[in-house]
Amino acid sequence: MRFYNEPPKGIGTCKNLASNCLTVSLFSLFIISIIFAFFSSFFSNLFFGKYSVVLLVLLLADSLFLLVMRYFSISARMQNNILLFTVQSILLQFFNRLFCLFGAAIDHSLKLTVLFNVAGLGIFSTVFFFLYKNSVLPKKFQFDFKAFSPVLIYGLGLAPAAILNWGNSLFAKLYVTKALGSSQNGIFSSVALLSFALAVVQGGFNTYWSAYMYKNYRQKQKEITRVHDFVMLGTMVLMTALIAAAPLIFLFVGREFRFGRSIFGLMLFSPMLLIISETTVYGIEISKKTIYNTLGMLLSFISNILLCIIFIPTLGVVGAALSLTVSALIMFIFRTVVAQNLYRTIENPIKSVVSILLMAVLCIISFLFSDSLSIVTAASLLSLVFYLILYRREVVSMVGIIKSFVFQLRRP
């Protein structure tokens, strides 16, 4: 995505770039397939808990189809083709779910269900590929390794970060299970799932924001800094609402999981930082110094392991929540400081720091006084008032936008 609007010299067009990236991705999958073939027993037991060559082959086929569709998805986003992106996303989920249901209706076995799932994805991917390949790929394939090397280096800098991010969340759950038992892990996992609501917001925002950033970072830096303040306001308002509504939210979970309400605010802090980072860390990608993303994730990963070992045996699931929160904050601070030195997107750093610190205080209050609805509600309302005053310029702008939208709807 970083090179879509600015392909390296020697590659030429975005279509050539897409074909080169797809080729390298397919070659990487081919290498992984060979490794799987030599160590099939190990990987099969790791992923499925039993030896099954069929399931391993289906996993690789699934990866192949998703990999190809990923490039069409990115192309639609970068071309700002919202309709195509939406249709592709919906149909992809539809075919996946529909064929899974067919498989489950015939036989409840895992193999048949996975087979139908992959078959549905394969049919959809193949049809979609032949219908839209000309909008993504060039008519003539060209590959220059020297010209492509900046893209490869950029990608290699990002690859470890994705693995570390996966390991970060997994380690806490595994350690909770080992130290406290599966019941406590159930509480921790249920709260993590509820807090995932904010991560969904981040994913939705990233879908369109990343494409906008890479296209306009040179010409519209002032607008981008304003978006940061709007995101800060929206995120803080959403956080205060979720913390205040925690007692209501936890009425809908099992009674045995309601202890998780005390750590709900702490667990929300990490996905909150992910949303904010969408407007603070793009300087790393823009400058093509992706190694800093990996370093930030590595700091987070190491600190999370150390804090889990220290906190979980004494504090239980509270220790796990604190570990994730602190490690996420360490990564956020590192990446934001580095990125802002490379490309500034924060107009008033003090304003942003004060906002995050106040939210940290509110999350701590929600933990310490989780049994006192009145205190948590009062603290949430006071925080909300503070944010509305602090971001009054953005509030006025948003009210104006809403009024304009309503006026347009009322016009005959």
Q: What is the DSSP string of 296-354?
A: HHHHHHHHHHHHHHHHHHHHTHHHHHHHHHHHHHHHHHHHHHHHHHHS---S-HHHHHH
Spatial CA neighbour of 279 closest among 225, 328, 233: 225
Task: Using CB atoms within 10 Å of the CB of residue 363, give its burial: 0 to 12 exposed, 13 to 18 middle, 19+ buried.
Answer: buried
Confidence (pLDDT) at 130: 84
Confidence (pLDDT) at 327: 92
Please give the biggest Cα pair distance in the chain. Answer: 69
Confidence (pLDDT) at 337: 96
What is the C-alpha separation between 320 and 178, in angstroms, rounded?
12
Instruction: Fill in the amino acid letter for 336.
Output: T
Confidence (pLDDT) at 258: 62
Task: Using CB atoms within 10 Å of the CB of residue 85, give its burial: 0 to 12 exposed, 13 to 18 middle, 19+ buried.
Answer: buried
Confidence (pLDDT) at 335: 94
- Residue 156, Cβ neighbours under 10 Å: how many? 12
Confidence (pLDDT) at 409: 65
- Whether the Cβ atoms of residue 137 and residue 72 lie closer than 8 Å to each other: no
- Residue 370, Cβ neighbours under 10 Å: how many? 20
What is the C-alpha separation between 354 and 243, in angstroms, rounded?
19
Instruction: Fill in the amino acid letter for 146.
Output: K
Element holding 74 (H helix, E strand): helix 53-78
What is the C-alpha separation between 132 and 354, in angstroms, rounded?
48
Confidence (pLDDT) at 259: 67
Give 10-residue mean pLDDT values along the chain (412 residues). 76 81 87 90 80 85 86 80 77 73 67 78 84 78 80 77 74 77 73 76 80 87 91 93 84 65 87 91 89 90 91 87 91 95 93 95 91 90 94 89 74 60
Residues 6+ apart with CB under 8 A from 98: 120
Say whether 237 sits in a helix, a strand or coil. Answer: helix
CA distances, 156 to each of 1, 16, 29, 74, 241 (Å): 14, 20, 15, 19, 39
- Residue 293, Cβ neighbours under 10 Å: how many? 24
Tell me the chain's radius of gyration from C-alpha atoms.
23
